Amino acid sequence: MAEVIIVPSEQEAGRLVGDAIADLITDRPDAVLGLATGSTPLAVYRHLSDRVRRDGVDVSRVRGFALDEYVGLPAGHPESYRRVIEREVVEPVGFDPARIQVPHGDLEGIETAGERYEAAIREAGGIDLQILGIGRTGHIGFNEPGSSLASSTRVKTLTEETRADNARFFDSPEEVPMHCITQGIGTILRARHLVLLAFGAAKAEAVAAAVEGPVSTSAPGSAVQLHPHVTVVVDEAAAASLSQAPYYRHAWANKPAWQGI
């Protein structure tokens, strides 16, 4: 089962996961990270950039693969995930931009973009640690309900709920692209360690379905139950619908320190 850690705040989650990533990079300077966009992982990136500045963690050889991208946005659009990853992760943390890849959402070559991305991940030796958020629809990456649990990187159609949720980043809801290219659930499951973060009451149902519900394409996040090394980090509000919360707290309080996350 996934390890569930209930933390008092996003800052605390950022510290916990940011430290785990800093340790991974210290052990393996060319570690391969799976990077998520969205507001959820921002505290992790903030803490990691603090560690880089404060403790001199050398991130110059770290490689990274973003989870997903919109299809068809003009090059350099400020809300393209390529730009978001540059602005919110690569620049503040100080990663080498040449080592960080984002799926290609340009219409030209879109038919083969998924296969090319899978090949690039394979050539890098696979992803060591994949950061995940979860959408209100239960999606991970942009794998909306119904996505195959064996899927690889491919083009998907966004649900109207997800388009509405993401409309806040665009001038008008119509501007939110209809299609995206996303690592598949199979791709995500091939990463060696999954770290799923969620904060706030709006995520409580999606978190409970992912961690404790039946494994089902209707709840794409539930695929994490098929993975041998998953860490779920949630605040109290996002943990509110977890029936096993007392056990998760007990296990975390008594976890041997040497095990890490």
Q: Active-site residues: which are they?
A: 68, 139, 144
Question: Minimum distance from CB of 171 to ligand GLP (Å)?
Answer: 18
What is the enclosing helix (H) or strand (E) of 251?
helix 245-253
**CB within 8 A of 21, min separation 6: which ones?**
33, 44, 48, 129
Nearer Cβ to ligand GLP (117/142): 142
Q: Is 10 exposed, middle or buried (0-12, 13-18, 19+ CB in 10 A)?
A: buried
Using the contact rule CB under 6 A, the part of the chain among 27-35, 105-113, 132-140, 186-194 near ligand GLP is: 132-140
Question: Minimum distance from CB of 238 to ligand GLP (Å)?
Answer: 10
Detail the DSSP E strand segments found in 22-151.
32-35, 63-66, 68-70, 100-101, 129-132
Q: Is residue 142 near ligand GLP by the rule CB under 6 A?
A: yes
Ranges within 66-85 binding ligand GLP (CB under 6 A): 67-68
Question: Minimum distance from CB of 132 to ligand GLP (Å)?
Answer: 7
On the CB side of 71, how many CA atoms lie within 13 Å of its CA?
20
Q: Does residue 252 contact residue 6 with C-beta atoms inside 8 Å?
A: yes
Q: Is residue 141 near ligand GLP by the rule CB under 6 A?
A: yes
Q: How far is it, in rounded angstroms, from Cα 8 to Cα 12?
A: 7
> Residues in contact with ligand GLP, total (CB under 6 A)?
14
Looking up tokens 């990077």 gives: 35
Question: Minimum distance from CB of 256 to ligand GLP (Å)?
Answer: 31
Q: Is residue 178 near ligand GLP by the rule CB under 6 A?
A: no
Nearer Cβ to ligand GLP (125/201): 201
Residue 120: other Cβ atoms inside 10 A:
14
Question: Minimum distance from CB of 40 to ligand GLP (Å)?
Answer: 3
Q: How far is it, in rounded angstroms, from Cα 190 to Cα 175?
A: 33
**Of residues 49, 153, 162, 187, which one binds ligand GLP by CB under 6 A?**
162
AA identity, residue 67: L
Per-residue mark of binding to ligand GLP, 35-64 (x: CB under 6 A)? -xxxxx------------------------
- Residues in contact with ligand GLP by CB under 6 A are 36-40, 67-68, 133-135, 141-142, 162, 166
